[in-house]
Amino acid sequence: MDENRVGYVSFQDILSLNQEHCKVRDRQAVERIINEFIWGGPERMQMVSDFDFTITKQRTDDGIAVLSSFGIFNNCKSLPPHYKEESDKLFNKYRPIEIDPHMPIPEKVQYMIEWWTKSGQLTSGFPFDLAEIDQGAGQFKNALRDRTHELFDSLRQLQIPVLVFSAGLGNSVVSVLQQANILYPNVKVISNFLKYSDGMLAGFQEPMIHTFNKNETVLDGSEYYELVHTRDHIIVMGDSLGDAHMAAGVPASSHILKIGFLFEHVEANMEKYMNTFDIVLVDDQTMDVPRALLGLIERRHQLRHPHIAPNDAALQLSAL
Ligand SMILES: [Mg+2]
């Protein structure tokens, strides 16, 4: 991308990327990718986002803790008395393995499959009313990052496919997005969904989505893959290091911009996050940065297609 090209946007002119809490290791590379995105237009874009603590906040203004999608389920009143205790035991055994910085990934994958399998067995053989999840999820429809609605509105208007990719519980994810009125037709949730058999819970539907297969390779052959595999400009958002790999499986020529939300143990994690994500946002509980990027793409798009949005697109661009 030629820096002297008319309309080339330089890093320092994108205000939201120049905020104190926005950390970027390689400003030139980020500038180049953003200009590719702007020139490629919305037709080539897709977004892939984690759900827990990425679409939901890591910290709320009123200090109320946001539950994860599995947390919403575990909190349901009608679960058998032993459920919570057993599921905590599994968590305490396998979670340290999941985040162990030393164990090789293939070894971890075996443990993750064990964890998901045992958890599926535990989530079997009792009746469960999905309305309970809706009740729990309803409490968190307002715990989404500030201006999530505006972000999803832009994505819908620009017809950019959004994949919400979660190793959590899909039923909770869908319920929160639905109750927040942002589960638009361009939004697809890939996650673990409850399975029923004869009116009883029977674990989770296949394929199991865990931390280490949470990437576009599990989409191979699916309808969604057909929809997005030609969209080679990708924004990836997540709060865990593993989320950075969610676009793995797309063609190598793709341009991928990875945005990481860092909140806990900022100093200890900073180096790893900086090495993993292109943009690291420290305690940023908003969607302002992805919105700014979409805004740039949208403005150029309007300039090229003035009949679509005849309002003052040129003016907006000059005001950047
Ligand atoms: Mg997360």
Residue 313: is its pLDDT beyond 80?
no
For residues 226-244, give the mean pLDDT. Answer: 91
Encoding tokens for residue 197?
């058999």
CATH topology of domain 11-62+133-318: Rossmann fold (3.40.50)
3-state secondary structure of 118: helix
Q: How far is the CA of 53 from the centre of ligand 1 (A)?
A: 5
For residues 197-219, give the mean pLDDT. Answer: 89
Q: How far is the CA of 12 from the centre of ligand 1 (A)?
A: 29
Q: CA angle at residue 320 from 13 to 144, to 5 degrees?
A: 85
Residue 317: is its pLDDT beyond 50?
no
Residue 312: is its pLDDT beyond 80?
no
For residues 228-251, give the mean pLDDT. Answer: 90
198 labelled catalytic: no
Confidence band (pLDDT; 50, 70, 90) for 121? very high
Q: How far is the CA of 51 from the centre of ligand 1 (A)?
A: 6
Residue 197: is its pLDDT beyond 70?
yes
Q: Can you give the residue ranges of every domain in the chain?
A: 11-62+133-318
Q: Residue 253 has what pLDDT?
A: 79
228 near 200, Cβ under 8 Å? no
Q: How far is the CA of 13 from the centre of ligand 1 (A)?
A: 30
50 labelled catalytic: yes
pTM: 0.91
Q: How far is the CA of 165 from the centre of ligand 1 (A)?
A: 9
Q: How far is the CA of 198 from the centre of ligand 1 (A)?
A: 33
Q: pLDDT tens digit string along 140-187?
A: 999 999 999 999 999 999 999 999 999 999 999 999 999 999 999 999
Q: pLDDT tens digit string along 286-308?
A: 999 999 999 999 998 888 887 65
For residues 46-66, give the mean pLDDT. Answer: 95
From the list 216, 146, 230, 212, the residue with the least C-alpha distance to 188 is 216
Q: 2, 52, 129, 284: which one is catalytic? A: 52
Q: How far is the CA of 99 from the centre of ligand 1 (A)?
A: 13
Q: pLDDT tens digit string along 69-110?
A: 999 999 999 999 999 999 999 999 999 998 887 888 899 999
Largest CA distance in the chain: 66
As a whole number of Å, the CA-based R_g of the chain is: 20
Q: 13, 26, 50, 198: which one is catalytic? A: 50
